[in-house]
Amino acid sequence: MLLDVVRIAPDSLAAYSTMVRVSQQLGRLSEAKYHCERMVELAPGDVSLVLWLGWLNFELGCFDEAKNCADYAESAAPDRSPDAQRLLVFVCGKSGDWRRASVALEKLSALQPESINELVAVAFGAFADHLLTRYRAGAFTEVVNLSTQMPNQFASTDRAIADEVAFAVSDSLLRVGQYDEAMRAIKACIPASGASRRPRPPLASSRSLCLVTSLMPSRLAIQKRAVESWLHLGAQVVSLNSAQERASLEHAFDGVRFVTAQRDARDRFGKPYVYIHDMMTVMPGTPAHTVGLINADIILSPKSGPVLDKALAQSRTSLVCGHRYNVDATDPRDVSGSGADIYEGGFDWFLFSPETTAGYMDAPFIFGGPWWDIWLPARALSRGISVSTVRDPVAFHEYHDQRWDETMYRELGHDFIRTMTAASGPTEGHFHMRLSELLKTAQARFGSDKPSAQEFSWLSPLVRSLIALDSRVL
């Protein structure tokens, strides 16, 4: 339909803009870039389109083109200099042009000093990813040279991956024969007397997993136990929250990197729920091999290492969805699977590759609300991505009262129908065909009516059944 609009009105920026977003959602970044370039041709004076094209080039690894977009944006619209410098930080960090990245960071520090710490925390992943990639390739001399160009702003970073970077640098110094420098680097990593570091378990993929959640100002005790269980298994932990919630939570949790959400769902649902789309935007900045979403009160068993290793390996090529087990015990860490009940009504944790996050963007769903945990595997299957489910008793959850707001359940249910209908197309596959028929039935049954949540509740179990038919159990 959009292609028809473009043929009829080839100068329609709105049509091209929608095509860019749809292409991004489907992971077709080259197509998105093509349509974005057409928009730039139609509106050459619109710097926001040039910056959009720059970020697409960044995601595609076209770093020189991304730099050109940033340079043009800064020269054409000086008021957009912060946006251009932010793009340069990521592009130059990922491509190894660290001297220029340092210059961009200095400019940003002067232009927006209040936001530089948050940017540094996110951008460090791009730098670390490049350095660790070169280290794993055996380019030890290059790693040593890169370490001398690391921007000063990263010196105080408190991210777990910093230890892995420090080890790579120390080992590279040893391998190139710079023994004194290597010893100094190693000593710098050792905590001061009396200090201790969080012990890391012997998990094969330790420090290659980043779990993103949204912690809550209530039920702090169970959330602290949950976070501790994730850290114990070697995960990095990121929490996306509104500015007000972040201020109240940041000092209550150790080992968590908090990120301020630029928007929340208060206008729609009265509470500062964060959007799944915004949680996905946090993930590309991490150097972890696997990223994931997890509900804030889910405790992972300390004995779950072998199952998680299997899930982490599977997440490279598919979306992994995990069920929880409900328990009465006040400390689920002491519970075995035999005394708990599996929850079949949805999923509470997900693992996937950072490269696939673009396909889950621009969804209207909120974290902590209904439908998002069903939409995620449905979207994956509709895009041809395999889905694997974990039913082993590795994730535990204490029973507590849970009542969906009827308006929220109904509105997000309609969003599910709308977004999945928009994503449907002439794709082969049993899931796509079955889901399309189910959505047609839902549209015919509800249309513009406003059914109660109870009347609407028949759709969710049927979608879960379709997902089960086309997924495999790990």
Among candidate residues 158, 189, 220, the one where a domain is terminated: 189
Is 362 within 8 Å of 374 (Cβ atoms)? no
- What is the pLDDT, as a whole number, of residue 240? 94
For the chain (length 474 residues), average pLDDT per consecutive 10?
47 73 77 87 87 89 91 88 87 84 84 73 75 83 85 58 74 79 64 41 53 93 92 90 91 90 90 92 74 94 83 89 82 54 90 83 86 92 90 87 75 87 61 82 69 70 86 88
pTM for this predicted structure = 0.58
CA distance 260 to 254: 17
How many domains does one find in the chain? 2
pLDDT score for 2: 44
Q: In 3-state terms, what secondary structure has residue 392?
A: coil
Contact 220, 252 (CB under 8 A): yes
For residue 140, give both structure tokens: 């030890």
Q: Is 398 helix (H, G, I), strand (E, B) or coil?
A: strand
CA 307 remoteness from chain centre: 22
In a domain, residue 436? The reply is: no
Residue 88 lies in a domain: yes
pLDDT value for 329: 62
Q: Are residues 154 and 243 in the same domain?
A: no
Quote the pLDDT of residue 44. Answer: 82
Task: Calculate the alpha carbon distances from 127 to 102, 104, 170, 388, 412 in Å.
Answer: 11, 14, 17, 31, 38
CA distance 112 to 424: 42
| 156/61 same-domain check | yes
CATH number assigned to the domain comprising residue 230? 3.90.550.10
Are 72 and 116 members of one domain?
A: yes
Of 151, 53, 48, 31, the C-alpha closest to 103 is 151
Which DSSP state fits 345?
Answer: S
Judge whether 8 lies within some domain: no
Judgement on whether residues 169 and 256 belong to the same structural domain of the protein: no
Residues 53 and 119 in one domain: yes
255 with 382, same domain: the answer is yes
* The pLDDT value given to residue 11: 64
Question: What pLDDT, on a 0 to 100 scale, did the predictor assign at position 205?
Answer: 38
Domain identity same for 251 and 172: no
Residue 179 tokens, joined: 């023994």
Query: Both 175 and 62 in a single domain?
Result: yes
* pLDDT score of 287: 64
The reply to whether 226 and 262 lie within a common domain is: yes
Last residue of a domain, one of 126, 159, 189: 189
How many C-beta atoms surround the C-beta of residue 201 within 10 A? 11
Instruction: Please spell the DSSP secondary structure of 170-214, one letter per residue.
Output: HHHHHHTT-HHHHHHHHHHHSPPTT---------TTTTSEEEEE-
- Statement to judge: residues 238 and 137 lie in one domain: no
Q: How far apart are CA 98 and CA 18, in angstroms?
A: 34
pLDDT of residue 293: 96
Ramachandran angles phi, psi of 198, nearest 5°: -65, 125
Residues β-bridged to residue 290: 209
CA distance 310 to 319: 13
CATH of the domain at 80: 1.25.40.10
Residue 198 lies in a domain: no
Q: Residue 219 has which token pair?
A: 């039920």
Q: Is 340 found in the same domain as 380? A: yes
Alpha carbon of residue 314 to chain centroid: 17
Q: Which of 403, 421, 440 is the last residue of a domain?
A: 403
pLDDT of residue 154: 65
Boundaries of domain holding 312:
209-403
